[in-house]
Amino acid sequence: MDYSRALYRAPFVVPGNGPLIVDGAVLTEGGLVAAVGAYADLKDVEARREEYDAQVITPALVNCHAHLELSPLAGLTGEAPEPGDLTGWIRGLLAARAENSELEAVYDAARMALARLYAGGCRAVADIGNRPESRLLGEGFKTEVFFFLELLGLCGASEESALAALSGIEVEVCCTAHAPYSVGPALMRALKKRAGGRLFPLHVAESAQESEFLRTGGGPLSDFLGERGVEVAAFTVPGMGSVRYLDSLGVLDERTLCVHAVHVEDEEIALLAARGAAVCLCPGSNRFMGVGIAPGQKMLAHGIPLVLGTDSLASNPHLSLWREMQLLREDHPDLPPEAVFAMASSNGARLLGLADRLGVVAPGVCSSLPVVRCPVKNEAEVFDYLTSAGTDIQLEWLE
Ligand SMILES: [Zn+2]
């Protein structure tokens, strides 16, 4: 008996890069998947064996948008904002953040959030933060943290000071923009240039308030920025939607990840597709904020790479990609369940450059895989169950 190898058998295996395998098996060796296929084809290999009943072995999940630093602010989800009032929510967030700034408490809460992500089957997270040292949050965790330092500065002194700060940030720290309503053209271009071939995730078209500000220069966001000391009058109003505006700045390409993308027009969807930009859907956070529903179905039809993100505990009481899949399907009942599952797994792994290690069950990927309790007997129902059970999902890890 070769004890360095293990053969795991389950009624179903989701390879993530091909059809569902019925009565499947995964052979592992040295922390990696060595083979995956029908149990009948693998049953004679010499290996330690383990059998799972009523379970499905799936790829590890990938969360493409979170803010671990905001984890201590989970109390903000106790009461939903006025529907769509992003500005009101940001006001509450800034006040709560000022009261919860003690670093050790912030990082304790962030590590708890990471542990929750891991318990939910997630092995990688794209994390947006405001402290460079947060890039080390994932050390010692099985869920890898891909950290992006977010900068803000819309115009005048705020944009200039952010540009000055940018030049002093160590090269290995990935930097990104907060949003088109909080980052001016010069800073936006400088951030994108610095990102180069690295991923460039930013909040785009999350609320109608953002659209109003970019189109007219007015509305609640304008008032809020003024309150914060931003010289809003110095900002050149683009007079167009968020996606068109970003394209006019030359920052939309296949390494740009537009997060939320709720308030986008049909022509902007076509523009995203033409530029090869990816979109991170955050249905849970959007629902909490009442900002609307992103046109996920149309985006999929245009071939836009779609991934999923939970956003932070400050706008989503659950850090569960299973719940994000469930809500996305509630929002778009016609989306194919297989496509929804790919958004939470293989698509995210590809975007983060992890396709050879995560997001699928294939030779060479990490053998630490979710084993999900799955009450369905019929293979046609497996993806439907995985993408609609939400927080009812129970899982353990293969290794
Ligand atoms: Zn966010």
Render pLDDT for 182-212 as a digit per residue (tens, 0 to 9): 999 999 999 999 999 999 999 999 999 999 9
In the reported structure, the alpha carbon of residue 206 is separated from the centroid of ligand 1 by a whole-number distance in angstroms of: 9
Residues 332 and 386 in one domain: no
- The rounded distance, in Å, linking the Cα atoms of 382 and 374 is 8
Q: How many helices (H) and strands (E) does the chain have?
A: 15, 15
- The rounded distance, in Å, linking the Cα atoms of 257 and 261 is 10
β-pair partners for 191: none
In the reported structure, the alpha carbon of residue 311 is separated from the centroid of ligand 1 by a whole-number distance in angstroms of: 5
> What type of residue sits at position 16?
G
Query: pLDDT confidence of 1, banded at 50, 70, 90?
Result: low
pLDDT over threshold 70, residue 259? yes
Residue 172 belongs to what domain range? 61-351
121: left (phi over 0), alpha (psi -120 to 50) or beta: left
For residue 393, what is the domain's CATH number? Answer: 2.30.40.10
In the reported structure, the alpha carbon of residue 172 is separated from the centroid of ligand 1 by a whole-number distance in angstroms of: 22
In the reported structure, the alpha carbon of residue 336 is separated from the centroid of ligand 1 by a whole-number distance in angstroms of: 26
β-pair partners for 124: 62, 144
Residues 182 and 323 in one domain: yes
- The rounded distance, in Å, linking the Cα atoms of 178 and 153 is 9
In the reported structure, the alpha carbon of residue 251 is separated from the centroid of ligand 1 by a whole-number distance in angstroms of: 19
Residues 199 and 255 in one domain: yes
Residues 236 and 333 in one domain: yes
In the reported structure, the alpha carbon of residue 282 is separated from the centroid of ligand 1 by a whole-number distance in angstroms of: 9
For 201-258, the pLDDT digits (tens) are 999 999 999 999 999 999 999 999 999 999 999 999 999 999 999 999 999 999 999 9
How is residue 132 annotated by DSSP? G
In the reported structure, the alpha carbon of residue 317 is separated from the centroid of ligand 1 by a whole-number distance in angstroms of: 14
Tell me the average pLDDT across 85-107.
89
In the reported structure, the alpha carbon of residue 66 is separated from the centroid of ligand 1 by a whole-number distance in angstroms of: 6
In the reported structure, the alpha carbon of residue 260 is separated from the centroid of ligand 1 by a whole-number distance in angstroms of: 8
β-pairing verdict for 5-13 and 21-29? antiparallel
DSSP H helices, 276-361, are 283-289, 296-301, 321-331, 337-343, 346-351
Residues 159 and 286 in one domain: yes
- The rounded distance, in Å, linking the Cα atoms of 344 and 214 is 31
In the reported structure, the alpha carbon of residue 301 is separated from the centroid of ligand 1 by a whole-number distance in angstroms of: 25
Find, among 277, 312, 304, 294, the residue nearest to 200 by Cα: 277
In the reported structure, the alpha carbon of residue 45 is separated from the centroid of ligand 1 by a whole-number distance in angstroms of: 47
Residues 140 and 255 in one domain: yes
- Percent of the chain at pLDDT above 70? 99
- Spell 223-242 as b/e; 16+ CB within 10 A means b: ebbeeeebebeebeebebbb
Tell me the average pLDDT across 36-57.
97
Among all chains, which residue has been given the structure tokens 């083979």? 35
For residue 68, what is the domain's CATH number? Answer: 3.20.20.140
Find, among 313, 387, 366, the residue nearest to 116 by Cα: 313
In the reported structure, the alpha carbon of residue 162 is separated from the centroid of ligand 1 by a whole-number distance in angstroms of: 19
In the reported structure, the alpha carbon of residue 33 is separated from the centroid of ligand 1 by a whole-number distance in angstroms of: 33
Residues 9 and 84 in one domain: no
Number of domains into which the chain is organized: 2
Question: Domain ends where: 314, 334, 351?
Answer: 351
3-state secondary structure 231-255: CHHHCCCCCCCHHHHHHHCCCCCCC
> 311 phi and psi, to 5 degrees?
65, -165
Query: pLDDT confidence of 93, banded at 50, 70, 90?
Result: confident
Residues 146 and 52 in one domain: no
For 334-370, the pLDDT digits (tens) are 999 999 999 999 999 999 999 999 999 999 999 999 9
Q: Tell me which of 68-82, 128-142, 341-355 is least confident.
A: 68-82
Residues 310 and 322 in one domain: yes
pLDDT over threshold 90, residue 101? no
pLDDT over threshold 80, residue 302? yes
In the reported structure, the alpha carbon of residue 203 is separated from the centroid of ligand 1 by a whole-number distance in angstroms of: 6
For 317-331, the pLDDT digits (tens) are 999 999 999 999 999
Tell me the average pLDDT across 111-127.
97
pLDDT over threshold 80, residue 29? yes
- pTM to 2 decimals? 0.96
pLDDT at residue 77, as a whole number: 82
Residues 225 and 275 in one domain: yes
Residues 292 and 181 in one domain: yes
Residues 181 and 267 in one domain: yes
